[in-house]
Amino acid sequence: MTTRALRDRFGPWAVVTGASSGIGLAMAREAARRGLDVVLVARRREALDRVAGELRARHAIATRVVALDLARPDGATELLAATRDLDIGLLVAAAGFGTSGAFIDSPLDRELEMLDVNCRAVLVLAHEYGRRLAARGSGGIVLLSSMLAFQGTPLAAHYSATKAWVQSLADGLHVELSPRGVSVIATAPGPTRSGFAARANMRMSATVAPDVVARTTFRALGRKSTVLPGALTKLLVYSLLPLPRWARSRIVGAVMRGMTRHQTGAG
């Protein structure tokens, strides 16, 4: 979708969560590059202020900074209130994080925090912004899935489950909201060069750049229900799809063992 076409169809404002770094930052930059005014959402106000200044200077667009934690029960509702006065045409729910290692060894409060950010906040935002977009008869929703969404993943069992939830939600909403003028897409990247690996305590070698994820997603918005950004992601997903789920889980689990071997002192 071209720069002007995106604003004409979805504009004028995009809400981007996780906008201070990684894929969220790349999504915010891509939205601004295509002429949308951007609401920048993340926990760190100083980082958001820097991004807002960059986008205004480079693209002459308007910005609004909303610093909050989507892991908090009232985080998503605070964001909704902070954007009540804006004509939101696009939601990009890019905030999220992962954990890795044996599920039963992980602190439960950490897993619950991930559930709140990856699923609960996405549910609240997709539900309310989805209503607004359907009422205006146009708009778009981008949900961040993962290549791990397509099978259970040992050593990232709960993370992959949250992304399977996101993928399923996006698949259903794509069909449900399309007749009401709302485009919904799931973007399902593979290993990405961002802060994700460090926070999840994983070591990745081959990765895709966040800006590739953003560009690929925006190009596919309004045309596809799911996009797999980058050649590496496509290779990994398509090579596994013909296999039964149990086989995919074992193969991806072997990859995860390599990414988490350092946690046990084995490498």
Alpha-carbon Rg of the chain, whole angstroms?
18
Q: Which are the contacts of 143, defined by CB distance < 8 A and separation ≥ 6? A: 93, 122, 126, 166, 167, 169, 170, 184, 185, 186, 187
47 Cα distance to chain centroid:
19
The set of catalytic residues is 159
Pairing of strands 139-144, 88-93: parallel
Write the Ramachandran bin of 40: left for phi over 0, alpha for psi from -120 to 50, otherwise beta. beta
- Phi, psi torsion values for 57, nearest 5 degrees: -70, -40
Helices (H), ranges, the chain: 3-10, 22-33, 45-59, 75-82, 108-115, 121-136, 157-177, 196-200, 210-220, 231-240, 245-260
Cα separation values, 214 from 150, 218, 257, Å: 21, 6, 28
In this structure, are residues 134 and 231 in contact, taking their beta carbons and an 8 Å threshold?
A: no
CA distance 38 to 64: 7
Nearest by Cα to 146 from 193, 114, 192: 192
